[in-house]
A and B are shown apart, each in its own frame.
Chain A
């Protein structure tokens, strides 16, 4: 289904990240972790893809509004996204994707997110919290710098206030000496996972990030898990 809706809010959830909330089209039913095509009619005539891009839905199905977040870049689409204001009209088409379809709420879950790849995972975590389907859950969240980690405060709060959710943020472009103890340093690898996960568990892994991040982390997961336990959202990104 494709429907035109209004932008309700636009903000910056972190440095170099932009987010909007839009009205949820009537009858738009989706599952946590799915994506949708967000079309910006303002650029439809100048853009080779008709002003449309596929974006993960960062909000959870239990919310009334839809949230989308992107990395800020100098492209026609991102510029138009940046210039969106409350009341502007955009078109939502979807939902698509099967990322969270196989999530088993009776088994431990490890989410692995790179940058704006957090969006479908945030949707899943929010829905888990809302439905109180809360197996032991870890989120390894990799960003270049702490201030580029979108939705970090919300995730930290969940980490602090619940006993089922553990956040492990890590950064890759900051000198180790500049970090306080709440951040890991470096890319997510098998050693980091082993440091934080209890021995003897066989969790499900859900992985989303840039193509390089996804295949890099998958190679690390090969050292500690069976591939049948790993689920990926190959977020290929776009300009």
Chain B
């Protein structure tokens, strides 16, 4: 019997002890603000069978964003095919492809009277284009309803499929974002299934695209990276042509996720931002509660406006 082959048995009853809760420093604590808009946004999303990364990723800023009537939409379902160890989104087999999702999303955006939208998604390794077409359809549907709509997309790595990345770029998002998430050394630990060079290539491809959008990325700190690795990563990102970077504190969503190795002090975030500016980024948003989608358009507003004014000038020449 197989039982005999299992060597050195230990007693069957194993008590699973929850890991000790990590104490959060003062600067991480978020005040829950009561707001009627919070429930309203939540209900509208539910009613239209849509998902937000704010809910799925347990974002600490959710009350503030929903309270202000904004959300970062998560398309392509809420089942992710990757098992990143920092992320709270459920890993499971995706339940098909919802072709009607772009239309419903645009309807909700109209209901919420939003003028700018951030759209992200789960990773869909089961789809040949990783869901790129649904991203493109979503942008088109939003602009069909409101041609002036500002759209930021935060895409997964699409398995490095350059054609799929082009499908998203061709839909002309205002801001094209793809997060590198962590320093190269920690990729295997933090993002199994992803590769740093693949992610950097996606940013490069966006930078070289003829109708170039604003290119943005983000990463977390507190996962065990060293300061020199953070600075090296900032230089690697800048080399791709990317102009906006967000840096935030990793917070452990649950006991099964990676522990926080270090809570980075707000002063150190300031130093990281200063270094980013010094080497040439147009915008660096760094702080304990910074998330790539948090107040996204305040990060890119100046750059988008400068681009638009340049285009206007060219038209008038």
Are A52 and B188 interface neighbours, CB within 8 A? yes
Pick from B9, B126, B187, B188: contact of A63, CB below 8 A: B9
Chain B facing A: main interface SS: loop
Counting chain B residues whose Cβ lies within 8 A of the other chain, the interface size class is 35 or more
A154 within 8 A of B: yes
Chain A facing B: main interface SS: mixed
Pick from A37, A65, A93, A215: contact of B8, CB below 8 A: A65
A130 within 8 A of B: yes
With A63-B10, A131-B12, A227-B95 as given contacts, are A234 and B188 in contact (CB-CB < 8 Å)?
A: no
Are B7 and A130 interface neighbours, CB within 8 A? no
With A54-B192, A63-B8, A154-B5 as given contacts, are A29 and B92 in contact (CB-CB < 8 Å)?
A: no
Identify the stretch in B32-40, B77-85, B112-120 within 8 Å (CB) of chain A at 4 or more residues.
Answer: B77-85
Least CB distance, A231 to chain B, in whole angstroms: 7
Chain A positions 53 through 79: 1 when the CB is less than 8 Å from some CB of chain B, otherwise 0:
110000111111100000000000000
Least CB distance, A90 to chain B, in whole angstroms: 15
Q: List 11 A-B contacts (CB under 8 A).
A: A29-B15, A54-B188, A54-B189, A59-B6, A98-B256, A129-B2, A130-B6, A161-B2, A211-B125, A234-B81, A234-B193
Given A62-B9, A62-B10, A63-B6; 18 other pairs, CB 8 A cutoff? A49-B188, A49-B189, A50-B186, A52-B188, A54-B189, A63-B7, A63-B9, A64-B8, A64-B10, A96-B258, A98-B91, A154-B2, A157-B1, A218-B93, A230-B93, A232-B81, A234-B83, A236-B193
A182 within 8 A of B: no
CB-CB < 8 A to A211: which residues of B?
A: 125, 193
Chain B positions 3 through 20: 1 when the CB is less than 8 Å from some CB of chain A, otherwise 0:
101111110101111000
CB-CB < 8 A to A162: which residues of B?
A: 1
CB-CB < 8 A to A83: which residues of B?
A: none
A152 within 8 A of B: no
CB-CB < 8 A to A131: which residues of B?
A: 12
A185 within 8 A of B: no
Q: For window 50-87 of chain B, which residues contact chain A by CB distance below 8 Å?
A: 81-83, 85
Least CB distance, B188 to chain A, in whole angstroms: 4
B residues with a Cβ closer than 8 A to A are: 1-3, 5-10, 12, 14-17, 81-83, 85, 91-96, 125-126, 184-189, 192-193, 256, 258
Are A48 and B185 interface neighbours, CB within 8 A? yes
Are A228 and B83 interface neighbours, CB within 8 A? no
Q: Give bound CA distance, A154 to B2, whole Å.
A: 7
Q: Give bound CA distance, A97 to B85, whole Å.
A: 8
A14 within 8 A of B: no
Are A238 and B188 interface neighbours, CB within 8 A? yes
Counting chain A residues whose Cβ lies within 8 A of the other chain, the interface size class is 35 or more
A187 within 8 A of B: no
CB-CB < 8 A to A130: which residues of B?
A: 3, 6, 9, 12
A17 within 8 A of B: no
Least CB distance, B205 to chain A, in whole angstroms: 21
A43 within 8 A of B: no
Are A49 and B2 interface neighbours, CB within 8 A? no
Q: Give bound CA distance, A189 to B58, whole Å.
A: 38
Are A158 and B2 interface neighbours, CB within 8 A? yes
CB-CB < 8 A to A82: which residues of B?
A: none
Least CB distance, A230 to chain B, in whole angstroms: 5
Are B16 and A62 interface neighbours, CB within 8 A? no
Are B189 and A48 interface neighbours, CB within 8 A? no
Q: For window 200-218 of chain A, which residues contact chain B by CB distance below 8 Å?
A: 211, 215, 218
A126 within 8 A of B: yes
CB-CB < 8 A to B256: which residues of A?
A: 96, 98
Q: Give bound CA distance, A193 to B17, whole Å.
A: 39
Least CB distance, B96 to chain A, in whole angstroms: 7
Q: Give bound CA distance, A28 to B82, whole Å.
A: 25
Are A161 and B7 interface neighbours, CB within 8 A? no
Are A53 and B12 interface neighbours, CB within 8 A? no
Least CB distance, A35 to chain B, in whole angstroms: 8
With A49-B187, A52-B189, A54-B188 as given contacts, are A227 and B93 in contact (CB-CB < 8 Å)?
A: yes
